[in-house]
């Protein structure tokens, strides 16, 4: 039996998922809570009570909790600086959780924690230099450099979705003031936009008919139609894949990584997205980096955040013990 348990909490835009996780990053119990429409105090109550419920109902001792929040974090103060979908902007999230819970508390953003999960127990085990790109409604990013999470000066680095690849491109979303970011060009949101455009240009395809029928042209439907060979749906994935490839080329040149792990909901399209992305990366990046990097799908799906949050808590406990 593993001797130590921690709790990992993944806080999404509308719900949280929390789990009891052992030292080998196996999940033992899971709960979910809706946070839809809650203001800041209600949100903090929901989160704390979910954690407390897991503590109360788990036989054995729980030492720490890790939180993944969809936010930029200033590690000088533990403040959530910018949160796109939740009322957490300028909230000292870690301190407020520590006041409510009798546990060691660790906080990081969702992209960093997805990278940590893949590095400790997924596609990146044993890798020194890897990037995690999470293609969802937005684009999450995480960097493992020299075997450790790289967070930058204040902890706000690794915003890998907010790299301009088209300086005259479309306005980015949420609190990002930029234009032509990788996120504005190749996220699930961008995929849906391009799907609507291509569908309207090609009314004689399945994708075109789906538009006429008023269906939502988002990642799942586009992926399904592409699987069935619809040329318009395939063209959408190829376009988004090529733009992903431009971003990969940039990151290959900047980091010379061993591995790039691509996850997130949009990756249900799998090789239909990764194959054109790799081809575009090879057309644009420099040797020798382009010839040695591996670009693979993430191994963790929707539980990456929970596992990464647990890994963060385990790392945090180990660091505290080493200091004693």
Query: What burial class does residue 164 get, using C-beta atoms within 10 Å of its C-beta: 0-12 exposed, 13-18 middle, 19+ buried?
Result: middle
Q: Is 119 in the site for a copy of itself (CB under 8 A)?
A: no
Neighbouring C-beta atoms of residue 183, cutoff 10 Å: 29
Contact residue for a copy of itself among 26, 175, 212, 320 (CB under 8 A): 175
Minimum Å gap between C-beta 150 and a copy of itself is 6
**81 SS3 class:** strand
Cis before 288? omega within 30? yes
Calpha distance 283→112 (Å, rounded): 29
Out of 22, 53, 63, 74, which residue is the one contacting a copy of itself (CB under 8 A)?
Answer: 74
Rg (CA), the chain: 20
Output the CA–CA distances (angstroms, integers) from residue 234 to 182, 206, 274, in the order listed. 20, 11, 12
153, 214, 322, 324: which one contacts a copy of itself (CB under 8 A)? Answer: 153
Between CA 141 and CA 158 the distance in angstroms is 6
Q: Which residues 221-280 are close enough to bind a copy of itself by CB under 8 A? A: 243, 246, 249-250, 253-258
Distance between CA atoms of residues 27 and 21, nearest Å: 4
Stretch that binds a copy of itself, among 12-20, 30-38, 59-67, 138-146 (CB under 8 A): 138-146
Burial, 70: exposed, middle or buried (Cβ in 10 Å; 0-12, 13-18, 19+)? buried
Kindly state whether residue 84 participates in binding a copy of itself, applying the rule CB under 8 A: no
Among residues 47, 289, 308, 312, the one that binds a copy of itself under rule CB under 8 A:
289
Residues in binding contact with a copy of itself, number by CB under 8 A: 50
Is there binding between residue 319 and a copy of itself (CB under 8 A)?
no
Task: Say if CB 205 and CB 221 are below 8 A apart.
Answer: no
Q: Which stretch binds a copy of itself (CB under 8 A): 11-19, 56-64, 162-170, 224-232?
A: 162-170
Site string for a copy of itself, 43-72 (x = CB under 8 A): -----------------------------x
Is residue 162 involved in binding a copy of itself (CB under 8 A)?
yes
Q: Which residues of the chain form contacts with a copy of itself (CB under 8 A)?
A: 72, 74, 81-82, 128-129, 141, 145-146, 150-160, 162-168, 175-179, 243, 246, 249-250, 253-258, 283-289, 292
């Amino acid at each position: 039996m593993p001797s130590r348990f921690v709790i990992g909490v993944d806080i999404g835009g509308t719900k949280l998922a929390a789990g009891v996780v052992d030292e080998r990053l196996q999940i033992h119990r899971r709960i979910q809570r809706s946070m839809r429409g809650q203001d800041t105090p209600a949100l903090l109550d929901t989160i704390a009570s979910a954690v407390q419920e897991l503590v109360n109902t788990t036989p054995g001792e729980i030492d720490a909790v890790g939180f993944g929040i969809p936010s930029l974090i200033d590690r000088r103060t533990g403040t959530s600086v910018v949160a796109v979908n939740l009322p957490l902007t300028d909230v000292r999230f870690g301190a407020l959780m520590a006041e409510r819970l009798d546990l060691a508390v660790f906080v990081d953003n969702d992209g960093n924690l997805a990278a940590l999960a893949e590095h400790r127990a997924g596609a990146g085990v044993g890798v020194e230099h890897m990037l995690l790109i999470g293609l969802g409604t937005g684009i999450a990013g995480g960097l493992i450099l020299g075997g450790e999470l790289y967070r930058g000066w204040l902890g706000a680095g690794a915003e890998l979705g907010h790299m301009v690849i088209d300086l005259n491109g479309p306005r980015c979303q949420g609190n990002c003031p930029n234009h032509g970011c990788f996120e504005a060009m190749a996220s699930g949101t961008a995929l849906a936009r391009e799907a609507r455009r291509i569908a309207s240009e090609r009314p004689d395809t399945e994708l075109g008919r789906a538009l006429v029928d008023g269906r939502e042209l988002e990642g799942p439907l586009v992926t399904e139609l592409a699987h069935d060979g619809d040329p318009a749906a395939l063209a959408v994935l190829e376009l988004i894949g090529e733009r992903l490839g431009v971003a990969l080329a940039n990151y290959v040149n900047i980091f010379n990584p061993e591995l790039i792990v691509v996850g997130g909901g949009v990756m249900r399209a799998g090789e239909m997205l990764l194959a054109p992305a790799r081809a575009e990366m090879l057309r644009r990046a420099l040797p020798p980096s382009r010839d040695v990097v591996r670009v693979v799908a993430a191994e963790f799906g929707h539980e990456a955040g929970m596992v990464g949050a647990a890994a963060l808590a385990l790392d945090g406990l180990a660091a505290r013990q080493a200091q004693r």
